[in-house]
């Protein structure tokens, strides 16, 4: 329970055995009484076993579905078990669970709350085409959602019951769909989105998923995904 | 002139179909991008079939239209190969699902049998 609400923390994880135990441990330490669900997305290492040993509930997918696929499973679990709030957190330790109560508080007046970098707190910075992509996404999505969004690809977000219900039935598994397209979809259906500044920490272990060489391709795909999301209904 | 009208209209009709399928979320992003890319090439060609005559001449093909036909067939073959590849991946996935399902069922059956055993030995 956080502020009288039943909260589920959903952690999508792919080969994160190096950090998942610490992340689950930290969440359970900082937020007593919340349930943690780790969705192991076909990891080839011991992610599932390590997470279970750390006290999380583990849902193991038989093969990789991507973050979007893992998150829909998480939201279905939240819906079927009647949670009031579902919060997505990365498995690499970059998100600080101490911000969770703040996110939950903001859900009183909002439907989806995003923990955002570049919004004042912390010193996380990005350069080059990746940055251009982020600027473009922020500008367009802020307009669509009628609120200031500086970190649209953040994997730190809290959803209330209404949004859990929607995401349980519809959550894209495509690249960037889990962040960009869900934001457009949510805003278009009249739900209120809000961001809170969070400081982002360094990865605890493992390798970052993005190399600088892929930044340009990322920009192109971000543009394509955004255009698609805008023409879709 | 009549021919241009027919080919051009066909191209636009295809474009409309794809955009509508996309809007209804019936096509996944990767396929959508592929077909949109194809149409961006096909529509100018359908309006101006002689566009490729110079390129065709360079390769020793008499007319641009035959070059387009040739490239079109090669492209369709590639698409077929890609689809076979996708289907193979899907079959592999359903196979994994079936195995997982069978393992789960075996586990449940074993647990139920163990429980029944316990009940009958108790009573
Ligand atoms: N379920 C699932 N989770 C994934 C997959 N790929 C990455 N993740 C998880 O998604 C979260 C974010 O992934 P990261 O690789 O840290 O991506 P990022 O935070 O945008 O980028 P970094 O700067 O590299 O940390 C982590 O918890 C990963 O374990 C996947 O294919 N499936
Ligand atoms: Mg990360």
How far apart are the CA of A202 and the centre of ligand 2, in A?
A: 8
B45 with B54: CB under 8 angstroms? Answer: no
Query: pLDDT at position A18, please?
Result: 94
Q: Residue B50: name the closest of B64, B36, B68, B66 by CA.
A: B64
Residue A2 within any structural domain of the chain: no
CA dist B59 → B53, B72, B119 (Å): 10, 16, 83
Torsion-angle region of A221 (φ positive above 0: left; ψ -120 to 50: alpha; else: beta): alpha
Query: Is-above-0.80 flag for pTM?
Result: yes
Residue A1 within any structural domain of the chain: no
Residue A107 within any structural domain of the chain: yes
Query: What residues in chain B have per-residue pLDDT under 50?
Result: none
Query: pLDDT at position B123, please?
Result: 58
* Full residue range of the structural domain in which residue A183 is found: 7-231
A195 with A115: CB under 8 angstroms? Answer: yes
Kindly report the protein residue whose alpha carbon is nearest to atom 7 of ligand 1: A14
ipTM above 0.90, yes or no: no
pLDDT by 10-residue block (mean), chain A, 233 residues: 89 96 96 95 95 96 94 97 96 94 95 84 68 91 94 93 96 87 94 93 65 81 87 79
Residues with CB under 6 A from ligand 1: A 12-14, 16, 39, 41, 64, 66-67, 70, 90-92, 94, 155, 203, 208-210
What is the total count of domains within chain A? 1
Q: What is the CATH number of the domain that holds A111?
A: 3.90.550.10
Query: pLDDT at position A47, please?
Result: 96
Query: pLDDT at position A2, please?
Result: 78
Q: Residue A69: name the closest of A150, A10, A152, A143 by CA.
A: A10
Give the residue, out of A9, A11, A12, with the most ligand 1 atoms within 8 A of its beta carbon, to mutate for a pocket test.
Answer: A12
What are phi and psi for residue A8, nearest 5 degrees?
-115, 130
Query: pLDDT at position B69, please?
Result: 86
Kindly report the protein residue whose alpha carbon is nearest to atom 9 of ligand 1: A13
By DSSP bridging, strand A7-13 and strand A85-88 are: parallel
């Amino acid at each position: 329970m956080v502020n009288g609400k039943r909260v589920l923390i959903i952690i999508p994880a792919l080969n994160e055995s190096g950090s998942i135990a610490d992340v689950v441990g930290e969440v359970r330490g900082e937020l007593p009484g919340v349930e943690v669900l780790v969705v192991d997305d076909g990891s080839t290492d011991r992610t599932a076993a390590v997470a279970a040993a750390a006290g999380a509930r583990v849902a193991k997918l038989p093969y990789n579905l991507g973050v979007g696929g893992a998150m829909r499973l998480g939201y279905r679990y939240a819906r079927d078990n009647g949670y009031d709030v579902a919060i997505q957190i990365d498995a690499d330790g970059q998100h600080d669970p101490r911000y969770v109560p703040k996110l939950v508080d903001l859900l009183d007046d909002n439907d989806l709350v995003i923990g955002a970098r570049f919004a004042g707190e912390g010193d996380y910075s990005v350069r080059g085409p990746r940055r251009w992509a982020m600027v473009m996404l922020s500008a367009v999505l802020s307009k669509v959602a009628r609120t200031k969004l500086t970190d649209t690809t953040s994997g730190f977000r809290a959803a209330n019951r209404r949004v859990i219900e929607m995401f349980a039935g519809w959550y894209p598994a495509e690249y960037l769909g889990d962040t960009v397209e869900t934001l457009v979809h949510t805003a278009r259906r009249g739900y209120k989105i809000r961001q809170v500044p969070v400081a982002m920490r360094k990865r605890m272990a493992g390798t970052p998923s993005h190399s600088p060489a892929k930044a340009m391709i990322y920009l192109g795909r971000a543009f394509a995904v955004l255009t698609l999301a805008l023409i879709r209904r | 002139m009549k021919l241009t009208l027919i080919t051009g209209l066909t191209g636009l009709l295809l474009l409309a179909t794809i955009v509508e399928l996309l809007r209804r979320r019936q096509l996944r992003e990767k396929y959508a991008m592929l077909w949109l890319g194809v149409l961006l090439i096909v529509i100018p060609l359908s309006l101006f079939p002689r566009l490729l005559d110079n390129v065709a001449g360079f390769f020793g093909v008499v007319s641009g239209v035959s070059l387009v036909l040739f490239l079109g067939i090669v492209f369709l073959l590639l698409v077929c190969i890609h689809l076979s590849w996708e289907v193979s991946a899907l079959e592999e996935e359903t196979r994994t699902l079936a195995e997982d399902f069978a393992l789960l069922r075996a586990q449940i059956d074993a647990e139920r049998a163990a429980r029944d055993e316990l009940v009958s030995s108790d009573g």
